[in-house]
């Protein structure tokens, strides 16, 4: 599902809280990615880290550079608005 995928990217990007469960194991719980829940610096760090995760696992198979992937995303976003 989209939510599970978003949570995975968020955790892989390092934007999570570690929660200790009663059995002693740690669970990584993704933090909110809402722009209103963070300042500009934190948002930019999350954006860069998430892009790095997506590049490493998915985008590098399709695009030659991260810049090329960002340009494609920007072009898609322009169609949405």
Asked whether residue 81 carries a pLDDT value surpassing 70, the answer given is no
**Average per-residue pLDDT in the chain?**
93
Query: Could you give the CA distance from residue 50 to residue 37 in angstroms, rounded to a whole number?
Result: 17
pLDDT at 77: 87
Query: What whole-number percentage of the chain has pLDDT above 90?
Result: 83
Nearest to 67 by CA among 79, 55, 56, 49: 55
Q: What is the largest CA-CA distance in the chain?
A: 48
Residue indicated by tokens 């590098």: 60
Query: What whole-number percentage of the chain has pLDDT above 70?
Result: 99
12: Cβ contacts below 8 Å, ≥ 6 apart = 53, 57
Give 49-79 pLDDT, tens digit per residue. Answer: 999 999 999 999 999 999 999 999 899 889 8
Cα dihedral 72/77/80/81 (nearest 10) = -140
**Of 1-5, 35-39, 62-66, which range is least confident?**
35-39
Query: Could you give the CA distance from residue 47 to residue 71 in angstroms, rounded to a whole number?
Result: 15
């Amino acid at each position: 599902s989209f939510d599970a995928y978003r949570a995975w990217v968020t955790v892989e990007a390092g934007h999570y809280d570690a929660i200790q469960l009663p059995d002693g194991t740690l669970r990584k719980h993704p933090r909110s990615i809402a722009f209103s829940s963070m300042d500009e610096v934190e948002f930019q760090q999350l954006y860069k880290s998430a892009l790095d995760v997506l590049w490493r696992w998915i985008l590098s198979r399709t695009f030659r550079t991260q810049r090329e992937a960002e340009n494609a995303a920007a072009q898609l976003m322009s169609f949405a608005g």
